[in-house]
Amino acid sequence: MNILFATSELYPLVKTGGLADVSYSLPLALQQLGESVTVVMPGYRSVRQKLGQPLRQYRFQDDFLYPDMVLGEYFDDRLSMRLLLVESDSLYDRDGGPYENALSEAWDDNHERFAQFCRAVTSLLGGGCAEYPGKFDVVHCNDWQTGLIPALVNYLGIPIKTVFTIHNLAYQGIFNYDAFQHLSLPEQWWHIDGVEFYGNFSFLKAGIVFSDWVTTVSPTYADEILCEPAACGMGGLLQHHQSKLVGILNGADYTVWNPSSDPNILFHFDPESIEEKTKNKLDLQRHMGLRLSKSTPLIGVVSRLVDQKGVDWILSAMDAMQGEKLQWVVLGTGSKEFEQRFRAMSEANPKTIAVAIGYDETLAHRIEAASDLFAMPSRYEPCGLNQIYSLRYGTLPIVRRTGGLADTVVDADDDAIRQATATGFVFDEPSAEALTAVVRRAIALYSKRKTWKKIQLTAMAQCFDWGHSAQSYLELYKQE
């Protein structure tokens, strides 16, 4: 089967969140099952600078596309997969991120940038890039930036299966009617059963309505998004299309996230040598300016600093637990207000709270390897990957019972500890007080070293790799 995987992010070339990790790991897992996978994404300046010159470029024959748009074919040793870039200097050759400028403001022409990307991919699927030798059986689209692909495939009658994955329903690609008209989209789409959404239009809704299958990234999240508030206004729509909605849990790439071989950490360890983990803790404490201590519980946070992730609850827990034997290390970027509050907390408590604002893949690995606990108290979490990474590193997750967090972490209550199934700490109530209470429960258990080690070993034994998930996607691709 020939699969075209359409995405707006791809690790290690460009990443703002878990979509990039999935776009790297799932195609590789599908290839390991014997399938042929090609990834296609926009040709951002930063990506082209990393890749260098293309192996070949192909011209489109499509009057809807920008005149400067071409399809670049690349191969990169870091990826081990075929990669196509939809390149247009006028749309993608600019400083900043894939969706925002250097001031963290959304690009004014995002509707144009991603509509053109979707049209280019659809043109490729329909033979509008005549010199390109590949043909495809299925196109797997991801998040709102690719939502017009299933709609255009359906509109043009291209005989190809379409799968659309929702990684986070809160990001819906909503633009006004003027933008809809500017993009010259079919007028018959402008109705409640098309792309119209409360007087605007939504790329995400287009993907849901017109794709053959809609997937999301955990079974629990697939249930949650049928109702508010997790549905983000799309509950009725998703209930209407529930027959084609499937929850498939994301996997972890254990070739990248493995404490026995991770090149980003100084001291490797596995279940038989878990004592080496403490050396990583001391190394991180030294690096971040924290007080050196083997016995002080260290809580790691690697997150976007936004409301969804419950970072305001983390700040409240930090404040409530000042003076207690506890350290925090935080890595992330997001809301300027949250960034400022975390910096202020660190400046006031430099020996117990360390904060790094920004994106740093190496530091993220070091935090996973060094921390005793990992805080991920999300208000909602479609899947989440960091809690899965934490398990493999013997870093016990503290999570709220929602989405993929509920599917991957078993609370260390008395029964689970007795049955040797506990892997972390789970709370239900969406509040700062509930998070603070579960942190205190975790710290109390941390002092019971034999029990703690047993939970660590159970956590490290969990396996959420991509093999099973890729097989589930493959079965979906083949369904009529």
DSSP alpha helices (H): ranges in 73-147? Answer: 89-92, 110-125
- Give the burial class of 479: count Cβ atoms within 10 A of its Cβ; 0-12 exposed, 13-18 middle, 19 or more buried: exposed
| Residue burial 445-456, b: 16+ Cβ < 10 Å; e: rest | bbeeeeebeebb
Identify which of 151, 428, 435 has the alpha carbon closest to the alpha carbon of residue 311. 435
15 is in an annotated binding site: yes
Contact between 178 and 210 under an 8 Å Cβ cutoff? The reply is no
Amino acid letter, 392:
R
The residue among 12, 147, 124 whose CA lies nearest residue 73 is: 124
- In this structure, the strands spanning 353-357 and 425-427 are unpaired
* C-alpha neighbours within 13 Å on the C-beta side of residue 99: 11
> Comparing C-alpha atoms, which of 232, 230, 247, 238 is closest to residue 379?
230
If one counts every other C-beta atom within 10 angstroms of the C-beta of residue 290, the result is 22
Q: Which of 434, 436, 453, 435 is nearest to 445 (CA)?
A: 453
- Write out the two tokens for 206: 């287009």
Check: CB of residue 37 under 8 Å from CB of residue 480: no
- Bridge pairing between strands 138-142 and 82-87: unpaired
Contact present, 431 and 313 (Cβ < 8 Å): yes
Binding site, annotated residues for ADP-alpha-D-glucose: 15
Binding site, annotated residues: 15
